[in-house]
C-alpha cells in the first residue's frame, strides 16, 4: 500500500486540493562571529523565500498530496564564511517528521547535519532544479535532501517504498561528481557526506535499516494507540534488525543518526515501563551505537 493511502487515514478531507509534497520551513542564520552588513541580511531573507518556493512548490513525485498530507520538514542553512561577494560557505541542518496514526504526535524521521555547504547566490536569482542536470550546487543540495526526505518518509509507510527517491538522490550525486564542490564524492575524508549517506541506504548491507524504519513506524508507532504494550515490543523488534548492519558497518552515520532521532522519543514512550523493559532497550541501543552510550543511559532516569 502506498504512503499516500496511509496518510489519508490520518486526516479527514472533503476534497482534494492542489498541493506539493513538502511543507518545508527554511531558515538562514549566520555564525555568531561572522560580521555581515544589512545588504547581506536582506539577501538571506530573500533567499529564505526563494528556497521555500523551491522546496514547497516543486513537484517532486507523481503522487497527489492534499495539504494535510504534506511532509513537515525544516532546513536551516548556517553561513560561516563569505569568501567573496555572493559566495557562501557553511553547514546545513535537515529535519523531517512523520505523523503517527490516531494521534497528534509527529515522530522525528530524519535529522542530519551536512558540513559541506557552499554556494553562490545574488539578488533576484531564481533557484530551480532540473532533473538529470547539475545547474548549481545550491539547487542540487536542496533537491538531494528533498528526495532523501521523501525516501525516508515513503520507506516508513511501505516496505522499501522510498527506493525511487533514493535513486534520485544517487543520480544527483552522479551529476555533481565533476562540479568541484565537496560533499559529492566517495574519496572525501570521512563517511558523513551526501555520497555516503545515499550510497549506504541503497546497499544490500543496509536493508535491515530500511526494514527497521518501516517496522518501527507501521508496527510500532502506528499501533501505540490500539495497544501500547504490543507497540513497544514492535519497536524493540524493529531496532533489533539493526544488529546485522552494525556487525558489518559499525558507527555508520545512517544508523547513528536514525537512533539519535529516536532517543528522546523512546525515553518518553518508556517512561511508564518497568525497569527491565527500559534496561533491555538501553542495552540494545548501546550495543548498536556504543559511541553515544551516555545519551541512551538517560532513558533509565
pLDDT score at 106: 97
| Enclosing H/E stretch for 261 | helix 253-269
* Average pLDDT over every residue of 17-46: 91
Q: Is the pLDDT of residue 7 over 60?
A: no
* pLDDT digits 0-9 by tens, 41-88: 999 999 999 999 999 999 999 999 999 999 999 999 999 999 999 999
| More confident: 123 or 6 | 123
Residues 151 and 163 sit within 8 Å (Cβ to Cβ): yes
pLDDT at 8 over 80: no
| 9: confidence class by pLDDT, cuts 50, 70, 90 | very low
Sheet containing 106-120: which strands, arranged edge to edge?
22-30, 71-84, 87-99, 106-120
pLDDT at 18 over 50: no
What pLDDT, in 10s, does the model give residues 109-155? 999 999 999 999 999 999 999 999 999 999 999 999 999 999 999 99
* pLDDT tens string 175-193: 999 999 999 999 998 889 9
The CA-based diameter of the chain, rounded to the nearest angstrom, is 59
1 confidence band (pLDDT: 50, 70, 90): low
d(CA 169, CA 11): 30
Predicted confidence band of residue 19 (pLDDT cuts 50, 70, 90): low
Which own/partner contact pairs does 45-48 have at CB distance under 8 Å and 24+ positions apart? 46/123, 46/124, 47/77, 47/121
> What pLDDT does residue 189 have?
83
The set of cell numbers assigned to 218 is 507501521
10 pLDDT above the threshold of 60: no
Q: How far apart are the first and last CA of the chain?
A: 39
Number of helical H runs and strand E runs in the chain: 11, 4
The Cα–Cα gap between 55 and 71 comes to 11
- Is residue 156 exposed (0-12), middle (13-18) or buried (19+ Cβ within 10 Å)? buried
The neighbour count for residue 27, using CB atoms within 10 Å, is: 14
For residue 26, give Cα distances in angstroms to 48, 50, 138, 216: 6, 9, 13, 28
* pLDDT at position 16 over 70: no
Give the per-residue pLDDT at 3. 62
State residue 183's pLDDT score. Answer: 97
- Return the percentage of the chain with pLDDT > 90, whole number: 92
Residue 41 vs residues 13, 86, 137: alpha-carbon distances, Å: 40, 12, 21
The domain locations on the chain are 1-202, 204-301
- Cα–Cα distance measured from residue 40 to residue 288, given in angstroms and rounded to the nearest whole number: 44
- Stretch 93-117: mean pLDDT, rounded? 97
Confidence of residue 301 (pLDDT cuts 50, 70, 90): confident
User: Mean pLDDT for the chain?
Assistant: 93
14 pLDDT tier (thresholds 50, 70, 90) = very low
Q: What is the pLDDT of residue 6?
A: 53
**At residue 2, does pLDDT exceed 90?**
no
Amino acid at each position: 500500500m502506498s504512503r499516500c493511502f496511509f496518510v489519508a487515514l490520518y486526516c479527514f478531507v472533503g476534497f482534494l486540493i492542489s498541493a506539493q509534497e513538502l511543507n518545508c520551513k527554511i531558515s538562514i542564520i549566520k555564525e555568531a562571529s561572522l560580521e555581515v552588513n544589512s545588504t547581506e541580511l536582506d539577501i538571506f531573507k530573500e533567499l529564505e523565500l526563494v528556497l521555500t518556493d523551491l522546496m514547497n512548490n516543486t513537484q517532486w513525485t507523481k503522487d497527489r498530496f492534499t495539504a494535510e498530507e504534506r511532509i513537515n520538514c525544516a532546513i536551516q542553512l548556517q553561513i560561516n564564511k563569505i569568501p567573496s561577494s555572493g559566495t557562501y560557505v557553511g553547514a546545513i541542518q535537515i529535519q523531517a517528521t512523520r505523523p503517527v496514526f490516531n494521534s497528534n504526535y509527529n515522530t522525528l524521521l530524519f535529522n542530519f547535519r551536512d558540513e559541506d555547504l557552499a554556494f553562490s547566490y545574488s539578488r533576484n536569482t531564481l533557484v530551480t532544479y532540473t532533473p538529470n542536470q547539475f545547474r548549481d550546487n545550491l539547487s542540487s543540495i536542496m533537491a538531494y535532501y528533498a528526495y532523501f526526505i521523501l525516501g525516508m518518509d515513503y520507506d516508513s509507510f511501505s516496505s522499501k517504498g522510498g527506493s525511487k527517491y533514493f535513486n534520485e538522490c544517487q543520480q544527483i550525486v552522479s551529476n555533481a561528481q565533476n562540479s568541484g564542490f565537496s560533499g559529492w564524492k566517495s574519496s572525501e575524508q570521512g563517511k558523513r557526506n551526501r555520497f555516503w549517506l545515499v550510497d549506504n541506504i541503497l546497499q544490500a548491507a543496509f536493508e535491515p535499516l530500511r526494514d527497521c524504519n518501516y517496522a518501527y513506524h507501521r508496527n510500532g508507532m502506528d499501533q501505540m494507540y490500539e495497544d501500547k504494550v504490543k507497540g513497544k515490543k514492535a519497536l524493540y523488534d524493529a531496532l533489533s534488525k539493526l544488529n546485522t548492519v552494525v556487525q558489518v558497518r559499525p558507527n555508520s552515520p545512517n544508523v547513528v543518526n536514525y537512533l539519535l532521532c529516536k532517543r528522546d522519543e523512546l525515553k518518553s514512550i518508556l517512561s511508564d515501563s518497568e525497569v527491565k523493559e527500559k534496561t533491555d532497550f538501553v542495552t540494545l541501543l548501546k550495543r548498536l551505537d556504543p559511541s553515544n552510550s551516555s545519551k541512551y543511559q538517560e532513558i533509565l532516569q
